[in-house]
């Protein structure tokens, strides 16, 4: 089981809007000791959304989906989730109540005509509360119009001001038992004067000798903007996993880089040096 996020909307793929959900979901999960396992971006294509959800429902993963749960012609997520599960859409009674509360809230007190909940416009708004059969609601503290959950998939609006508190609510009410359940550590160093090809055998040996520890290698051609040692070609080389195993593996990683003749700088020292004002 992994945590995943699906970000839906043509406006993201076209560049009309810049996605803010991915870094925020990573932040919200990380604050609870949870890693993000994967992420996917999808446009407003019903067939592609349905196929993606059919696959992710079958995976057993915990999935957050943002966008496309409104009631305009370019909103397809509710319908696609139902199709992926092979169940009908139905109006959720609690969602209907909340949507009608929102309608009442928005009706001007000095309006010339009384509120008509049965008007075509207001009946259409109830479509935002039609979910796949068996779904439960996700409260929306911003405007009351809820999202919905079904089969460990949690569907929220595309608006960050609504989506992020709703994701937090799901994490804290449904998955609190997973918070910090798997201790995790990550340690790295900056390596100079060695290509990845020379480091690969060492990385493979570390993973063989320390089951459950994963080695990562992030090469850089140099970052002049950060300055200092970061401006030089380097590799951010490290290990991640269970804290005790990571501590032992990191010692062996450092020793191995020294034996290969690499020049090492600690990331903390490099960051501090880069932050100093230049003369």
Query: What tokens were used for 95?
Result: 């969602």
Residues 168 and 246 in one domain: no
Residues 208 and 167 in one domain: no
CATH code of the domain in which 216 resides: 3.30.70
Higher pLDDT among residues 127 and 267, named by residue: 127
- Of 152, 178, 204, the last residue of a domain is 178
Please give the Cα distance from 235 to 230 (Å, whole number): 10
55-83 per-position pLDDT tens digit? 999 999 999 999 999 999 999 999 999 99
Residues 171 and 258 in one domain: no
Residues 159 and 23 in one domain: yes
CA–CA distances in Å: residue 65 to residues 22, 77, 78, 208, 270: 11, 9, 11, 36, 38
202-225 per-position pLDDT tens digit? 999 999 999 999 999 999 887 777
CA 143 distance to own-chain centroid: 23
Residues 172 and 196 in one domain: no
Range of the domain at 232: 185-275
Please give the Cα distance from 206 to 133 (Å, whole number): 49
137: phi then psi, degrees, rounded to nearest 5 = -95, 155
Q: What is the pTM of this model?
A: 0.85
């Amino acid at each position: 089981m992994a945590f995943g996020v699906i970000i839906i909307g043509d406006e993201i793929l076209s560049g009309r809007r810049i996605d803010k959900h991915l870094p925020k979901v990573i932040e919200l999960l990380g604050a609870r000791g949870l890693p993000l396992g994967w992420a996917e971006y999808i446009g407003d294509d019903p067939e592609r959304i349905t196929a993606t959800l059919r696959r992710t429902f079958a995976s057993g993963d915990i999935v957050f989906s943002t966008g496309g749960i409104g009631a305009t012609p370019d909103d397809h997520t509710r319908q696609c989730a139902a199709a992926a599960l092979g169940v009908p859409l139905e109006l959720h009674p609690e969602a209907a109540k909340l949507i009608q509360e929102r309608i009442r809230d928005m009706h001007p007190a000095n309006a010339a005509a009384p509120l008509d909940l049965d008007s075509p416009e207001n009946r259409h708004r109830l479509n935002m509360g039609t979910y796949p059969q068996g779904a439960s609601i996700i409260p929306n503290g911003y405007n009351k119009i809820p999202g919905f959950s079904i089969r460990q998939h949690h569907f929220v609006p595309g608006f960050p001001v609504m989506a992020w508190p709703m994701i937090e609510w799901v994490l804290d009410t449904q998955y609190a038992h997973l918070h910090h359940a798997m201790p995790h550590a990550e340690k790295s160093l900056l390596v100079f004067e060695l290509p990845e090809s020379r480091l690969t055998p060492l990385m493979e040996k570390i993973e063989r000798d320390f089951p459950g520890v994963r080695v990562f290698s992030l090469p850089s051609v140099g970052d002049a903007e950060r300055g200092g040692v970061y401006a030089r070609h380097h590799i951010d080389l490290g290990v991640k996993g269970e804290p005790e195993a990571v501590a032992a593996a990191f010692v062996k990683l450092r020793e191995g880089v020294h034996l290969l003749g690499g020049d090492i700088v600690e990331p903390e020292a490099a960051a501090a040096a880069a932050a100093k004002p230049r003369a």
